[in-house]
């Protein structure tokens, strides 16, 4: 309410809401050549827990309906993750990152190009599956005309839709509140929330519905607690003379979050576990022992072997991602350069070893927490028969809580800037 009372913030919030409305309209607008009636009939007959469940989640359900924004934000997420990993591997990209704002702008440009390339690949694969009738495993014709011209038009349309989504996200970042891409991801995830809850109520009744809502609120509180958790390592800066001025002598801290990796490990693990299920699609006979084992253990997601592998991959990728994104050597060198030290720890190598020790200790509960949260929809799949887009758990709840907390913090910081009275009156 305070934000809407401030004219500048009110304009920004209304601008964000307007972009979200445009975004959702594009997510419901069918691509050229799509038989909407047949697509809706097929979607109503299948569960969204197949190999495209994660991509469909990030598109707000638009993927399986073959809309203009069918690819959603997933190509941009994938491109961003790939560039983050390549920065560690390729010296040229690492040099660009160290150049500051100019280098970051160049990396952002590379991310856009890679997003479009991935969008073309994904759109081609999805349209090819729709032409072959394998996208929804339905006997209905999803396209009016099953020719190459229709396929090209749909691929171009979906790729252009991804480019528009990138532009809308950057508009929110520049002229609105919060990170534009994060808010669009949040919008797509929340868009599936009411339908998933209502479908659960229709299948299981009000008793199970109320129980799920109560458990969901408890999970949300636990996620907020863990997302806010951090280990603050105190840092003291020694006083030093530069010219005629005295600098330093201040105290600060290095905030190390318990969940330093965010939702990236869950995305990595989900994508990796989709590969075996995707490979079985090429075995038309479906009689191979390997294909049958994968179909029985790694496709549905409610098998204990699948859950154990999924949990193990999340723990592994959490440690992997934290190792490549937080560099204790660089942090220790910067502290030494500017006269900073951790009380009781010598500067240089001992500081680096101490940071490594603390990071490995807090990453374990963070990885365990991520794994348990990601298993909630799989357990719900086995217990209450929910689909993989079960609202209270997994990727959905992590995205909703993370983006909401970040956006609220930014709104509060801007309110403090405008309402700060100071000590002079």
Full 3-state SS string of 71-119: CCCHHHHHHHHHHHHHHHHCHHHHHHHHCCHHHHHHHHHHHHHHHHHHH
> What is the rounded average pLDDT of the residues 114-135?
84
- Please give the residue that has the higher pLDDT: either 377 or 118: 118
The predicted structure's pLDDT at residue 187: 87
Are residue 159 and residue 214 in the same domain, yes or no? no
pLDDT tens track for 295-313: 666 665 567 788 888 889 8
The predicted structure's pLDDT at residue 188: 82
Output phi, psi for 30, to 5 deg: -70, 150
Are residue 162 and residue 287 in the same domain, yes or no? no
**Who's near 25: CB < 8 A, 6+ residues apart?**
none
223 assigned to some structural domain: yes
401: Cα within 13 Å, side-chain hemisphere: 25
> What is the rounded average pLDDT of the residues 409-413?
84
Paired residues of 341 in beta bridges: 236
> What is the rounded average pLDDT of the residues 362-369?
90
The predicted structure's pLDDT at residue 392: 61
With bands split at pLDDT 50, 70 and 90, how would you rate the model's confidence at 398?
confident
CATH of the domain at 388: 1.10.3370.10
421 assigned to some structural domain: no
The neighbour count for residue 27, using CB atoms within 10 Å, is: 23
Is it the case that residue 386 has pLDDT exceeding 60? Answer: no
250 assigned to some structural domain: yes
375 assigned to some structural domain: yes
Domain that includes residue 98, residue range: 1-191
Are residue 182 and residue 304 in the same domain, yes or no? no
Are residue 199 and residue 186 in the same domain, yes or no? no
Are residue 185 and residue 223 in the same domain, yes or no? no
Comparing CA positions, the residue from 323, 316, 274, 245 lying closest to residue 125 is: 274
Residue by residue, what is the 3-state secondary structure of the chain? CHHHHCHHHHHHHHHHHHHHHHHHHHHHCECCCECHHHHHHHHHHCCCCCCCHHHHHHCCCCCCCCECCCCCCHHHHHHHHHHHHHHHHCHHHHHHHHCCHHHHHHHHHHHHHHHHHHHHHHHHHHHHHHHHCCCCCCCCCCECCCCHHHHHHHHHHHHHHHHHHHHHHHHHHHHCCCCHHHHHHHHHHHHCHHHHHHHHHHHHHHHHHHHHHHHHHHHHHHHHHHHHCEEEEEEEECCEEECCEEECCCEEEEEEECCCCCCHHHHHHHHHHHHHHHHHCCCCCCCCHHHHHHHHHCCCCCCHHHHHHHHHHHHHHHHHHHHHHCCHHHHHHHHHHCCEECCCCCCCHHHHHHHHHHHHHHHHHHHHHHHHHHHHHHHHHHHCCCCCCCCCCHHHHHHHHHHHHHHHHHHHHHHHHHHCCCCCC
Are residue 153 and residue 31 in the same domain, yes or no? yes
Is it the case that residue 2 has pLDDT exceeding 70? Answer: yes
Are residue 228 and residue 358 in the same domain, yes or no? yes
**What is the total count of domains within the chain?**
2
Residue-averaged pLDDT of the chain: 79
pLDDT tens track for 130-188: 777 666 666 667 777 778 888 899 899 999 999 999 999 989 988 888 888 888 888 88
414 assigned to some structural domain: no
Domain end residue (candidates: 163, 191, 219): 191
> What is the rounded average pLDDT of the residues 100-108?
84
The predicted structure's pLDDT at residue 19: 93
The predicted structure's pLDDT at residue 94: 82
The predicted structure's pLDDT at residue 28: 85
The predicted structure's pLDDT at residue 117: 93
Are residue 86 and residue 135 in the same domain, yes or no? yes
294 assigned to some structural domain: yes
pLDDT tens track for 20-79: 999 988 888 888 888 777 777 776 655 444 445 555 666 666 666 788 888 888 888 888
400 assigned to some structural domain: no
Domain end residue (candidates: 191, 207, 237): 191
Are residue 90 and residue 148 in the same domain, yes or no? yes
């Amino acid at each position: 309410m305070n934000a809407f009372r401030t004219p500048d913030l009110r304009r920004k919030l209304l601008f964000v809401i307007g972009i979200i409305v445009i975004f959702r309209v594009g997510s419901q607008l069918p691509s050229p050549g799509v038989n909407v009636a047949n697509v809706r009939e097929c979607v109503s007959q299948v569960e969204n827990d197949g190999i495209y469940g994660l991509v469909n989640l990030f598109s707000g359900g638009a993927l399986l309906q073959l809309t203009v924004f069918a690819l959603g934000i997933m190509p941009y997420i994938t491109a961003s993750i790939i560039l983050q990993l390549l920065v560690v591997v390729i010296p040229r990209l690492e040099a660009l990152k160290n150049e500051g704002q100019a280098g970051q702008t160049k990396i952002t440009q590379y991310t856009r190009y890679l997003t479009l390339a991935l969008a073309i690949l994904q759109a081609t694969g999805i349209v090819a599956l729709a032409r072959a009738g394998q996208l929804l495993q339905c006997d209905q014709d999803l396209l009016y005309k099953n020719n190459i011209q229709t396929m090209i038009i749909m691929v171009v349309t979906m790729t252009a839709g991804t480019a528009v989504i990138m532009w809308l996200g950057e508009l929110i970042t520049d002229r609105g509140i919060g990170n534009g891409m994060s808010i669009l991801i949040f919008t797509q995830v929340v868009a599936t929330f009411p339908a998933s809850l209502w479908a659960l109520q229709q299948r299981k009744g009000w008793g199970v519905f109320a129980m799920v809502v109560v458990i969901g609120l408890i999970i949300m509180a636990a996620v907020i607690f863990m997302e806010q958790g951090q280990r603050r390592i105190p840092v003291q800066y020694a006083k030093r003379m530069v010219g005629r001025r005295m600098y330093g002598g201040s105290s600060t801290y290095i905030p190390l979050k318990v969940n330093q990796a965010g939702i990236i490990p869950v995305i990595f693990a989900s994508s990796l576990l989709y590969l075996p299920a995707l490979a079985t699609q090429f075995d038309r006979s479906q009689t191979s022992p390997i294909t049958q084992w994968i179909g029985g253990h790694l496709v549905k997601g409610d098998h204990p072997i699948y859950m154990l592998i999924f949990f193990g991959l999340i723990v592994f990728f959490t440690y992997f991602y934290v190792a490549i994104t937080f560099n204790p050597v660089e942090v220790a060198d910067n502290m030494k350069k500017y006269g900073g030290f951790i009380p009781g720890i010598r500067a240089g190598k001992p500081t680096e070893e101490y940071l490594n020790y603390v990071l490995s200790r807090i990453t374990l509960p963070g990885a365990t927490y991520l794994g348990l949260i990601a298993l909630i929809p799989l357990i719900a799949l086995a217990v209450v028969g929910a689909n993989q887009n079960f609202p209270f758990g997994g990727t959905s709840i992590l995205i909703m809580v993370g983006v909401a907390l970040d956006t609220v913090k930014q709104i509060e910081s801007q309110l403090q800037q405008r309402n700060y009275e100071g000590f002079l009156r």
